[in-house]
Amino acid sequence: MAGRERPEAVYYYGTCLVDLFYPEAGLCGIRLLEREGLRVIFPQAQTCCAQPAFNCGYHDEAREVARVQIALFPESHPIVVPSGSCAAMMKRHYPALFEGDPDLRRAQAVADRVVELTDFLVTVLRVRLTDLGDQARVTWHASCHALRDMGIDEQPKRLLAQLNNIKLVPLDRERECCGFGGTFAVREPEISAAMVEDKAADIASTGAATLVSADAGCLLNIGGRLEARGDTVRPMHIAEFLWERTRER
Amino acid sequence: MSVEGSPAFRPEAVRALCDSQLRANFRRAMDGLVAKRAAVFTDPIEWRELRALGASLRAGAIARLPELLEELERNCVGNGIRVHWAETTQEANAVVLAILREHGASRVVKGKSMVSEEMHLNEFLEHHGVESLESDLGEYIIQLDGETPSHIIMPAIHKNKGQIARLFGQKIRDARYTEDVDELTAIARRVLRRKFFEADAGISGVNFAVAQTGTLCLVENEGNGRMSTHVPPLHIALMGIEKVVERLEDVPPLYSLLTRSATGQMITTYFNMITGPRGPEEKDGPLEVHLVILDNERSRIYADVELAATLRCIRCGACMNHCPVYSRVGGHAYQAVYPGPIGKILTPQTEGLDRRHDLLHASSLCGACVEVCPVEIPITELLIRLRKEATHADPRSPVRGAGGGRRRLEDLAWRLWATAHRNSRLYRLAGLAATRLRHFLPARLPPLSAWTSTRATPRPAPRTLHELAREKGVPDA
């Protein structure tokens, strides 16, 4: 891919779920990148990667929205996305979505430069983290699209492994879907509920104080269930978790 | 629009979710299969290379389907196998019945065959006065209980040994009640042994049909496949058109992928290669072998380059074993011959999107199925493609019942969504409204109520990332 060497600037694509539900996590991602000496550009005209409409089969509508996104990155900087799912949409599905469209080349050029945040931190920036936080027990949920569409498995764990004061307790079923699946949670609410309940129970049984994950969709889903169960486990995006534990106070 | 009276996945799935015994049976069984498969694919490089080979062999065969089928027919006929073609399941049933009648056959033993499930063959034969007995243990169990398979490899996987013990106690004469698995197997074996020798004909499926040699390969563990195809004087094999492979050398890698993916076995107990009826000098084997090749909408799938990947399937069942939806609701909720992820893409294509678009949404698109598919079928991509066909009534669509899942309200919702998200000012305005009115979301109304029934109400943050970024001076360009 483009830019395995360290760039001077990056674009930051926050994603709509982070924008609305986890903006602090989005900002922490920006700070992590800036701390490495990069200039981070946040195009204010960004909206949504268009995955919801794409997954539901509404490809004309998805293309209209995607067309706005692919115009946001005129320079050749990498496009860093704090979500494996949205990154997969842009990297893997934009070229197919624009097949036969005059904007195909532009879509492909964007796809080529999209990189998920933890992957970028580990593979390109090779960040070194110093844990300044208290002793803590945490667990990790692997998001499906990061894992299977983007091949991101070890990267986030390598970041967490650099934090000396945390104990990472693995889930029994770390790789099993939490049941979010975008509109799946609304179209098949009962199965989705059964899946997220199993995930929440798995998390609760680890005794962890914090659930770390790298996708806002999973966090929203699992966090909502944990709260409804009355569990005190705190769901946290990995960007926020890393920043909070390593920032100078 | 949707066809009235079509099966619906959701209510059946809800019923299954409420059945704690069923859920426990499936979860335990699927966990076991997942672990067994993992134990035989420990080398990721070997796995990657073998599955790439499997995918290319199957994709290559599907790409050349018409010529390979002709070659298969030629070589089967050369081996003394009589070949019959059936476009529909009705035609296939009629062919089987005609062959049986010609021989005055009234008692049939069957090996496991998913194509025969597509045909509802047992029901059809019983209706025409032919006794048709399943001889695969799992199939035998569900036939006794009047059920359909809940898994394509392990048809009775939804039952535990206690349920099977009670069933045998009730339905098999002279069977003593026991929960000992070996004893239960022995009871079934005693019944089936006699039936093999009494049968006028045996019916089986086909796992791989080799075009170049006219060989029918049958993969099994119980020996019932060999008994069904070799003891009775007449053997009728059933296959879908997609089961053909080009050369004999293609079989070992596909066989290895099949057994390791299905049951975690390096090799099955039996592997049968059927090359024709009993020869003049031979002492056993059937006197006649027939092969019925069924289309049942497969050629329509073949005609679309992308959808044709559906036909690569070698029916290992790994996709269902690893599916978080299947492992919670089991196979019957799908109300389809092929349940689970492969069924979600196959059934709407064979039965029509207007009848079975419901199955397309029984997936979170997590991709666990794609990760383990031994022939690299892009199941999630095909689900998305079929969702597109289901919601757009394009007369040129290659899929039956296109537009059959379309709802005006959904069309409108996505048009509104597109309007809000292609205009960044409108989007930011909506974000502003959502964050400022964050305590007033209509949590009790659909579609949000589906979410809040088991989860706390999602609350937007006080300010969006757009606002925070601007405030902190993060450059816009």
Question: What is the tens place of the pLDDT at every residue in B369-393?
Answer: 999 999 999 999 999 999 999 999 9
Q: Do B469 and A220 touch (CB under 8 A)?
A: no
CB atoms inside a 10 Å sphere around CB A73: 22
Q: From the candidates B407, B438, B454, which should be mutated to test the interface with A, based on the most A CB atoms within 10 A?
A: B454
Strand runs labelled E in A73-149: 79-81, 114-116, 136-140
Query: CA B242, B247, B252 angle in degrees (round to 5)?
Result: 90
Average model confidence (pLDDT) across chain B: 96
Token representation of residue B466: 């757009």
Mean pLDDT within B76-102: 98
> Three-state DSSP class for B118?
helix
Q: Do A148 and B371 touch (CB under 8 A)?
A: yes
Query: Which residues in chain A are closer than 8 Å to B423, comparing Cβ atoms?
Result: 68
Kindly report the length of chain B: 477
Compute CA distances B227 → A173, B145, B195, B462, whole Å.
42, 23, 10, 71
Which helix (H) or strand (E) element contains residue B202?
strand B201-204
Half-sphere exposure (Cβ direction) of A107: Cα atoms closer than 13 Å: 24
Q: From the candidates B364, B389, B407, which should be mutated to test the interface with A, based on the most A CB atoms within 10 A?
A: B364
Q: Do B474 and A186 touch (CB under 8 A)?
A: no
Query: Which residues in chain B are closer than 8 Å to A183, comparing Cβ atoms?
Result: 361
State the count of interchain CB pairs (< 8 A) between A and B: 201
Q: Regarding beta strands B208-210 and B215-220, do their DSSP bridges make them parallel or antiparallel, or are they unpaired? A: antiparallel
Whether the ω angle into residue B458 lies within 30 degrees of 0, i.e. cis, is no
pLDDT value of position B439: 87
> Three-state DSSP class for B160?
coil
A220 touches chain B (CB under 8 A): yes
Burial class, B283, CB count within 10 angstroms (exposed 0-12 / middle 13-18 / buried 19+): exposed
Which residues of B, range 364-403, sit inside 8 Å of A by Cβ? 364-368, 370-371, 384-392
Question: Is the pLDDT assigned to residue B3 strictly greater than 90?
Answer: no
C-alpha–C-alpha distance, residues A35 and B345, integer Å: 47
pLDDT digits (tens, 9 = 90+) for B418-463: 999 999 999 999 999 999 998 888 888 888 889 999 999 999 999 9
> Three-state DSSP class for B443?
coil
Strand runs labelled E in B59-175: 81-86, 107-110, 131-134
Query: Which residues in chain B are closer than 8 Å to A227, comparing Cβ atoms?
Result: 455-456
Query: Which residues in chain A are closer than 8 Å to B325, comparing Cβ atoms?
Result: 188, 191, 195
Query: Which residues in chain A are closer than 8 Å to B340, comparing Cβ atoms?
Result: none
A196 touches chain B (CB under 8 A): yes
Residue numbers in chain A where pLDDT is lower than 70: 1-3
Decide if B181 contacts B187 (C-beta within 8 A). no
A230 touches chain B (CB under 8 A): no
Query: Which residues in chain B are closer than 8 Å to A151, comparing Cβ atoms?
Result: none
pLDDT value of position A1: 47
A24, closest residue in chain B (CA to CA): B465
Which residues of A, range 9-68, sit inside 8 Å of B by Cβ? 12, 14, 16, 18-24, 26-27, 30, 39-48, 50, 52-59, 61-62, 64-65, 67-68
pLDDT value of position B1: 60
DSSP secondary structure letters along A181-218 = TTTHHHHSHHHHHHHHHHHHHHHHTTT-SEEEES-HHH
pLDDT value of position A26: 98
pLDDT digits (tens, 9 = 90+) for B252-271: 999 999 999 999 999 999 99
A172 touches chain B (CB under 8 A): no
pLDDT digits (tens, 9 = 90+) for A13-63: 999 999 999 999 999 999 999 999 999 999 999 999 999 999 999 999 999
Q: Do A26 and B465 touch (CB under 8 A)?
A: yes
Which residues of B, range 272-311, sit inside 8 Å of A by Cβ? none
Q: The pTM is what?
A: 0.97
